[in-house]
Amino acid sequence: MAGERERDDITGTETTGHEWDGIKELDNPLPRWWLYIFYACIVASVIYWVLMPAWPLANSYTKGILDWSDRDNVAVEIQKLRGARAPMFARLAEASAADIAADPELQTFARAAGEAVFGDYCRTCHGAGGAGAPGYPVLADDVWIWGGSLSEIEHTLRVGVRADHPQTRFSQMPAFGRDGLLSPREVSDVTEYTISISAARTRLAPDAAAAGRGAAIYDAQCAICHGPSGAGDRSVGAPSLNDDLWLYGGSRDEIRRQIETGRAGVMPAWEARFDAGTLRALAYYVHEMGGGELDAAPAPTQSQAPPAAPE
Amino acid sequence: MNWTQRLRQRKAKRRPQRQNEAMSKVTLIPRKPEGEHAIDVRAVNSGEARALYKKREQIYPKLAHGLYRNLKWAAMIVLLAIYYVTPWLRWDRGDGRPDQAVLIDFEGRRFYFFFIELWPQEVYYFAGLLIMGAFAIFLSSALFGRVWCGYACPQTVWTDLYIYVERLIEGDRNARMRLDKAPMSPAKAAKKVTKHAIWLLIAAGTGGAWVFYFADAPTLLVNLSAGQASASAYISVVILTFTTYALAGTMREQVCTFMCPWPRIQAGMIDKDALSVTYRAARGEPRGAHKKGESWEGRGDCIDCRQCVAVCPQGIDIRDGDQLECINCALCIDACDGIMEKVGRPKGLIAYDSYANQSRLAKGEAPQIRLVRSRTILYAVLFVTVALMLVWALAARQTLDLNVIRDRSPPFVQLADGSVRNDYALKLINMSDRPRRLVVEVSGAPGLRLQAPSLDSDGRLHAAATADAVTSLRVHVAAAGLTGAHDIAFTIRDLDSGEVASSSAAFVAGGER
């Protein structure tokens, strides 16, 4: 690449001696204004050091005489944003599910605010989009332990489950096996019976004889909470057993282990942490994940009827 | 002796040496031009004026007269008129819609061009325009060299305008040179101040006109003058005022020579048959002063008057051949033709000509102009093809569109009754200026059913799409007895116009459990 420096006839300029496929480069002078711009940049950087935070020191940094701090500015911006959002949260706190659905602006706000809070506080356990995990209920499906209407979801959010809130949702599944309430044989039998009344029976093919023996144990021990047909009871937080959705896993072993050990999870009570508007937004977001139910309250939401032709 | 005196002495010692260097350079300059039409001028990029960092040499372009000067005036007037007038053209689009013919509405995310309205996602139309622009420049370069640089580039147009103002106030080349050499006087100061003031006014007008493309021009004009326009409007005006003033007023040829990449790209665009501004050396050399009545035998037609250098806005000598500084403005052709007329030789010593013709001329062959060549045909065909594609795309453009985004987290949800549900975000894109009543349908796999609060009795989902907006709709689709992944399609149908848009999506049901 490097070659002879030659002189170009017309311009009288030397070439740089570099050559690429026969293309040679003239060693032309830089324009002087270009050099001055370079100097100006150096001067500007020195001015910048004086005005703005610039140099790292052992335990701090040079602050600059403008006292600029992005951290402080962000804090101010966040404060401003909170102020700007406050009226919407105040409206949300007063709004019912129907109100929210009827007001596109409020609905969009509730969704966005709910999604943000969910992402920060709920997703760790319940998964993105409410996908759930073993021991952490799926929120996107249509099965609810404590109720799936907006007000019930919000109440669960407020008081938590087995949390340190005076009115917290509380249910206790006994550890029938571990605590010796039932013998291992009886646990096996009631496991087979539970499978036989659930939608999992086609997939797990329960032992008919064992299920028959388990029926009596179920009626004596389980039916009081889970109901004689396994429909569950939301008033006491007893999950339904007649579908094929299982909080702690739906294999034979997993169903049996839950009867043995009676695991019970905890959800924090969020009432002290969030204001009413945020709680409403969060409840609305969870309610909208797909399994939300209508409020038991008399007024079914009129606004969700087919939209009229816009005039 | 204190340190300042010492420094001065040391500098004084060095100075004579430097002056010698300078002198030796000066002696390299060939003889002063002689002859009745000769003018004392030297190309700024000549080999004699070299240094590590090159101080800009002021160029005083002389006013040329002739065909190409007139073409340049015409181009300048037309292009500036287009630039300044366009934002003020009105186009009625109905109630509540902007009535500006050409408007780039960043806030509303729309681009309006007379009867065309484009959304941000239709930016490919601009890609098409840019491709057309590229082929147009390739084609024009292959045919006539750097006509873009010489006539149409904003740098050229505004520089031309600024030189016009300069000439109006300070006079032509000689007067301007005298003025710059003259000591400062009230008269000189008045001229300079007037010139820069007018330059700044033009610059502000340029920056001012620019912002009118981005907002309703009459409203913005009122707001700008009342001090109530947005900060970005003022900042844009200030920046463009500065760049116009600096680039057209003080930087001029430096922009073309040092900043613009186009001269370098240009080198690859021109072949031996491309016409560009050319000094016909075979006819002109050997050059030399010519006195009236002298014979033209045994010498070239160039009388070395350097008028071509004097009129050059780039300050170069076209007789040095094709060079990157040359913007092909052809003013040297005008200057030279004028001289040739005066000395009684045929015009066209400098002319639009090709490399091929130069070698033909040297060999005494007849010149040949080949505008139709494989590359010009290719460029023209590509240009027309892209243009037709754009027109076709515009003609077939639909104002109803549907985007479907499937929720991936969770990929699917199992329901209590054993069926599986997928969730989708639908974007109902209504690019028309009226609201629409739409019906959403899903198809592609057995047993798919929409789940939404607003289903009608037939299980169809109704939705209203706001005019000129995107309406979001969250939709659940459930199906029983499916496993694996299925290709499905969402369709939206306008109940009034019957227009249909659809989008494919996937329905995922997981495996057997």
In this structure, the answer to whether residues B446 and B367 fall within a common structural domain is no
Say yes or no: B358 and B455 in one domain: no
DSSP state of B351: E
Q: Same structural domain for residues B303 and B166? A: yes
B209, part of any domain: yes
pLDDT value, residue B25 = 38
The CA distance from A94 to B400, in Å, is 37
**B345 and B414: one domain?**
no
ipTM > 0.85 for the complex: no
For chain A, which domains are there? 96-152+272-296 (1.10.760.10), 172-261 (1.10.760.10)
C-alpha–C-alpha distance, residues A64 and B175, integer Å: 51
Please count the other Cβ atoms lying within 10 Å of the Cβ belonging to residue B72. Answer: 21
pLDDT of residue B265: 83
- Angle value at C-alpha A278, between A273 and A279, nearest 5 degrees: 75
Closest-CA residue to B490 (of B460, B465, B468): B460
Query: Who has greater pLDDT, A307 or A43?
Result: A43
Percent of chain A with pLDDT over 90: 72
Per the structure, how many domains does chain B have? 2
| Residue B228 and residue B326 in one domain | yes
Q: B393 and B343 share a domain?
A: yes
Residues 6+ positions from B128 with CB-CB distance below 8 Å: B386, B389, B390, B393
CA distances from B270 to A32, B317, B321, B440 (A): 30, 20, 14, 57
**Contact present, B215 and B221 (Cβ < 8 Å):** no
DSSP B432: S
Q: Please state at what angle helix B186-211 crosses helix B154-170, rounded to 10 degrees.
A: 150
Q: Is residue B53 part of a domain?
A: yes
Is B3 a member of any domain? no
The DSSP code for A297 is: S
Q: Chain B, 388-447: which have a CB under 8 Å from a chain A CB?
A: 407, 409-410, 413-418, 421, 423, 435, 437
What residues in A contact B50, CB-CB < 8 Å? 12-13, 29
DSSP percent split of chain B into helix, strand, coil, nearest 5: 45, 20, 35
Whole-angstrom distance, CA of residue B167 vs CA of residue A240: 93
Instruction: Quickly count: other Cβ atoms within 10 Å of residue B46's Cβ.
Output: 19
| Cβ within 8 Å of B, A 227-286 | 240, 243-245, 250
Query: What integer pLDDT is reported at residue B380 of this predicted model?
Result: 96
In a domain, B20, yes or no: no
Closest by CA position to B160, among listed B151, B173, B170: B151
Element (H, E) at B388: helix B374-395
pLDDT along chain B (513 residues), means of 10: 60 47 41 70 65 81 94 95 94 85 90 89 90 93 91 94 95 93 93 96 91 92 90 93 93 90 83 92 88 86 92 92 89 94 92 92 90 93 96 91 91 89 92 90 90 74 89 89 92 92 92 63
pLDDT above 50 (res A88): yes
Q: Which residues pair with A136 in a beta bridge?
A: A133
Query: Are residue B447 and residue B323 in the same domain, yes or no?
Result: no
CA dihedral of residues B157, B163, B167, B170 (deg, nearest 10): 150
pLDDT in the model for residue B241: 94
Rg (CA), chain A: 34
For range A9-26, the mean pLDDT: 80
Indicate if B144 and B109 belong to the same structural domain.
yes
Residue B311 domain flag: yes
- Closest by Cβ to A31, choosing from B258, B416, B454: B258
Q: How many CB atoms lie within 10 A of CB B223?
A: 15
Q: Are strands A30-31 and B53-54 parallel, antiparallel or unpaired?
A: parallel
What percent of chain B lies above the pLDDT cut of 70?
A: 91
Give residues with Cβ within 8 angstroms of A211, minimum separation 6.
A189, A192, A193, A195, A196
Task: Output the pTM of the full model.
Answer: 0.75
Q: What is the pLDDT, as a whole number, of residue B236? A: 93
Residues B454, A306: C-beta atoms closer than 8 Å: yes
Dist. CA B61–CA B43, nearest whole Å? 12
Name the residue with higher pLDDT: B296 or A74: A74
Distance, in Å, from the CA atom of B312 to the CA atom of B328, rounded to the nearest integer, reads: 10
| CA dihedral sign, ordered B351, B353, B359, B360 | negative
* One-letter amino acid of A5: R
Say if B7 falls within a structural domain: no
Q: Which tens digit of pLDDT belongs to each residue from B409-454?
A: 888 999 988 899 999 999 999 998 889 999 999 999 888 988 876 6
Per-residue pLDDT of A229-279, as tens digits, reads 999 999 999 999 999 999 999 999 999 999 999 999 999 999 999 999 999
Closest partner CB to A306 (pick from B410, B417, B456): B456
Its domain, for residue B448, covers: 400-508
Which candidate from A33, A129, A143 shows the least CB-CB separation from B56?
A33
Binned at pLDDT 50, 70 and 90, residue A102 comes out as: confident
Q: Would you call B410 and A33 a contact, using CB atoms and an 8 Å cutoff?
A: no
**Residues B371 and B426 placed together within one structural domain of the fold:** no
End-of-domain residue from the set B397, B412, B446: B397
Residue where a domain terminates, one of B373, B397, B421: B397
Separation CA B16–CA A305 (nearest Å): 96
Beta strands B461-465 and B449-451, pairing class? unpaired
Question: Which one of B359, B380, B397 terminates a domain?
Answer: B397
CATH number of the domain at B444, please: 2.60.40.10
Whether pLDDT at A53 is above 80:
yes
* Per-window interface: B 304-333 vs A, CB < 8 A: 320-321
* Residue B155, CA distances (Å) to A81, A277, B160, B255, B430 in order: 44, 57, 8, 8, 41
Mean per-residue pLDDT of chain A: 88
User: Does residue B19 belong to any structural domain of this protein?
Assistant: no
- How many angstroms separate the CA of residue B441 from the nearest CA in chain A? 15
Residue B55 contacts A, CB cutoff 8 Å? yes
Closest CA to A272 of A161, A156, A159: A159
Do B321 and B184 share a structural domain? yes
Task: Give the type of residue at B327.
Answer: I
**What is the sign, positive or negative, of the torsion defined by CA atoms of B237, B238, B241, B244?**
negative
Asked whether residue B205 is assigned to any structural domain, the reply reads yes
- Kindly state whether residues B233 and B381 are assigned to the same domain: yes
- The answer to whether B265 faces chain A, any CB pair under 8 Å, is no
Give the Cα separation of A218 and A227 in Å (integer).
Answer: 10
- Please check whether residue A203 touches B, CB under 8 A: yes
* Co-location of B193 and B171 in the same domain: yes
